[in-house]
């Protein structure tokens, strides 16, 4: 039976009991409005540990001015049922007051990874992400934590934070779950109108086409970026970026690099869609 916990002391009693029994703990932090992508994280978590903890907290510090914090979909009843159906052991539901006590003034910034791509257009976003994830890690102290690869920059930022702060937590990225037409599952897809939803898969189609160009030997990454930025804009998107990067540190890819990721973000009406695709090129020599 899933336990639902709203305060830190009660959660830590539950976690201590499990640890004393020798049980490992996997953690999946979420902002709720759960879908099949989240369930894939939970499935992976069950394979990694004896116990699975999920948190739901819509984190205000990662939303910028004019973004959708108030409107962000909150579906706790449906989320809870999905977690029960997927055999989650504990749901942690902290309040804003618990996560950010009065006067809280400590922030974590992962310099060098947070200022570009999504960070360039969402100032302070990744500081909000890193801070809340660090807090949740301190509270739960899991053996392993799981994140979706759809938010690839977020995953790289958190991985660097864990490394830099010597957190004894294993991180696992889990492959993006997609709709039948290729659109990456996201809580914000619900904002799309029917016509926008019909056109939205073009973002992934552009990523796949760019991947094929890389695999065919094209190394003019600037030209690839320009081509698909224009294609998205012509199709009714407002392209934010389309970039070929080194997968490990998100620096601009060079011709000698082999482990790449193509990152893309574009607005389609109200929602801002993000996606990526990994490309491993054959090594020369």
Rg (alpha carbons) of the chain, rounded to whole number: 19
Q: Residue 118 CA to chain centroid, in angstroms?
A: 12
Contact 276, 155 (CB under 8 A): no
Q: Residue 240 CA to chain centroid, in angstroms?
A: 18
Instruction: Give the whole-angstrom CA distance, residue 257 versus residue 281.
Output: 8
Selecting among 38, 46, 107, 222, the annotated active-site residue is 38
CA 141-169-58 angle, 5° bins: 60
Q: Is 38 a catalytic residue?
A: yes
Phi-psi region of 166 (alpha: psi -120 to 50; beta: other; left: phi over 0): left
With b for 16 or more beta-carbon neighbours within 10 A and e for fewer, the 140-153 pattern comes to bebbbbbbbbbbbb
Q: Which residue has the tokens 């695709």?
A: 277
Question: Which residues are identified as catalytic?
Answer: 38
């Amino acid at each position: 039976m899933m336990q639902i916990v709203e305060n830190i002391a009660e959660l830590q009693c539950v976690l201590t009991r499990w640890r004393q029994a020798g049980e490992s703990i996997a953690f999946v932090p979420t902002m709720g409005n759960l879908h099949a992508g989240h369930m894939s994280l939970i499935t992976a978590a069950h394979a990694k540990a004896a116990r699975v903890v999920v948190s739901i907290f819509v984190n205000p510090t990662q939303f910028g001015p004019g973004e959708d914090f108030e409107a962000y979909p909150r579906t706790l009843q449906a989320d809870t049922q999905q977690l029960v159906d997927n055999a989650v052991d504990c749901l942690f539901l902290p309040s804003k007051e618990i996560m950010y006590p009065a006067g809280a003034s400590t922030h974590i910034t992962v310099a060098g990874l947070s200022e570009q791509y999504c960070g360039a257009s969402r100032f302070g976003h990744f500081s909000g992400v890193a801070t809340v994830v660090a807090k949740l890690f301190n509270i739960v102290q899991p053996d392993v934590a799981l994140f979706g690869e759809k938010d690839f920059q977020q995953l790289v930022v958190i991985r660097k934070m864990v490394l830099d702060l010597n957190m004894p937590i294993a991180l696992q990225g889990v492959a993006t779950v997609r709709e039948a037409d290729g659109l990456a599952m996201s809580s914000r897809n619900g904002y799309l109108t029917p016509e926008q939803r019909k056109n939205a898969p073009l973002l992934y189609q552009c990523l796949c086409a760019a991947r094929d160009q890389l695999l065919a030997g094209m190394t003019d990454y600037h030209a690839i970026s320009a081509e698909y930025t224009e294609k998205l804009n012509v199709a009714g998107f407002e392209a934010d970026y389309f970039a070929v990067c080194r997968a490990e540190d998100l620096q601009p890819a060079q011709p000698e690099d082999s482990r790449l990721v193509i990152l893309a973000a574009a607005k389609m009406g109200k929602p801002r869609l993000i996606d990526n695709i990994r490309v491993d090129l054959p090594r020369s020599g």
